[in-house]
Amino acid sequence: MTDRIMQSIEMLVRRATRRIDYTILYPCTVLADHGDMTLDLQPDNTALPALTRIALWVGVPGLQVQVKNGAKVLLGFRDARPDQPYAALFGAGGLSTLTLSLDGPMVVNVTGTATVNAAHLNLGGAGGAGVARLNDQIQVTGVMLGGGTATGTIISASTVVSAT
């Protein structure tokens, strides 16, 4: 019985005197994303309390993300200052939304195949016309006997890809 009491006291003393190293990164679980690039976090390290409205740093200007509840992030402290916490480096599968806003041109270079898996893809903004694909139907007015050029209208197009 005395051993258990001593172990409990030692554990309480260790916990009470444990120091936080503000120069390292601490794994945390996201409790909430406020939609303004701030998160509520529950650190895995029990020496740290739950934290609210911690700035999310993604390292790319113009990039905004929303992080799923339960996702993992790393908690750091700018200049090792306890009053400057930030969250960074979320794990795979932790994002629910990613938005990149740029004031200038954006170039995407792909040397292989580019694949976009999406329920709907807007090229140039929402509300555009459907994009015609190889083998989509066209409607041609008039008949050209002996060859020539005819003008037609595409009457079917993709319902999941649109462009403006």
CATH number at residue 29: 2.40.50
Give the structural domain span for 158. Answer: 122-164
Inside any domain, residue 44: yes
Together in a domain, 27 and 87: yes
pTM of the model: 0.64
The torsion angles phi and psi of 67, rounded to 5 degrees, stand at -105, 135
Looking at the structure, do residues 133 and 91 belong to the same domain, yes or no? no
Report yes or no on 117 lying in a domain.
no
Is residue 109 included in any domain, yes or no?
Answer: no
Q: Are residues 88 and 136 in the same domain?
A: no
Tell me whether residue 110 is in a domain: no
For residue 18, the model assigns a pLDDT of 66
End-to-end CA separation in angstroms for the chain = 77
Q: Does residue 142 share a domain with residue 87?
A: no
Q: What is the pLDDT of residue 4?
A: 85
Q: Provide the number of structural domains found in the chain.
A: 2
pLDDT tens digits, the chain, 164 residues: what are they?
A: 678 888 888 777 766 666 789 999 999 999 999 999 999 999 999 989 999 999 999 988 888 999 999 999 999 999 999 999 999 977 778 888 888 888 887 787 888 877 777 777 777 767 777 777 767 777 777 666 766 666 777 777 777 676 65
